[in-house]
Structures are given as C-alpha cells and as structure tokens.
C-alpha cells in the first residue's frame, strides 16, 4: 500500500494501525489492509497523527514514511499553512 506516496509493507501498515492514537485512523488503516487497497489518502490531521506515532523511533518499514511526513510538516510550517 502507498501512504503519502510511500510504499509501505502490509506488516508495517498493521503496525502503524496499532501505534496511532486515533481509533478511526487505525480502523481506516486496517480496513484498507483487509481490502488490499493500493493507495490510501491521508488528510493533513491524519498525517500529523501518524507522524506523532512514529516520530521518535519508527518501526522497520516506516522510516521513509516518517521522513516524508517530517519534510511535509516542515514545509507547511515554513509556508504558514
């Protein structure tokens, strides 16, 4: 599955669903996994929730996603968005 344009393995998607502190987002991730969704769009608030969940020590397979989300966050702050 792709999240924020980044390929993420099935195991990493399920781990992310376990880590996020948002039951609705966790459910979306698990449902997307179960339906073998190829691309899952994340809202800006969801991206923030994911970033918080993997900010300090991302599990294996989520390092690239963390990097992309950090860069996006920094860009939004610079642009005042």
pLDDT in tens, 20-76: 999 999 999 999 999 999 999 999 999 999 999 999 889 999 999 999 999 999 999
pLDDT given at position 63: 97
pLDDT given at position 47: 97
Residue 81 pLDDT > 90: no
* Section 8-21 average pLDDT: 97
Number of folded domains in the chain? 1
pLDDT given at position 23: 98
Q: Which domain holds residue 41?
A: 2-79
Residue 9 pLDDT > 90: yes
Query: Which residue reads 């376990």 in tokens?
Result: 18
DSSP H or E run through 61: none
Burial class of residue 79, CB neighbours in 10 A (0-12, 13-18, 19+) = exposed
Q: Distance between terminal CA atoms of the chain?
A: 27
What is the rounded distance in angstroms from the CA atom of residue 31 to the CA atom of residue 17? 10
């Amino acid at each position: 599955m792709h999240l924020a344009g980044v390929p993420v393995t099935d195991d990493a998607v399920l781990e992310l669903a376990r880590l996020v502190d948002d039951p609705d987002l966790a459910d979306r991730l698990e449902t997307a996994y179960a339906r073998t969704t190829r691309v899952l769009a994340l809202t800006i608030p969801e991206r923030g929730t994911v970033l918080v969940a993997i900010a300090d020590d991302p599990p294996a397979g989520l390092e690239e996603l963390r990097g992309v989300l950090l860069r996006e966050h920094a860009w939004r702050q610079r642009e005042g968005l």
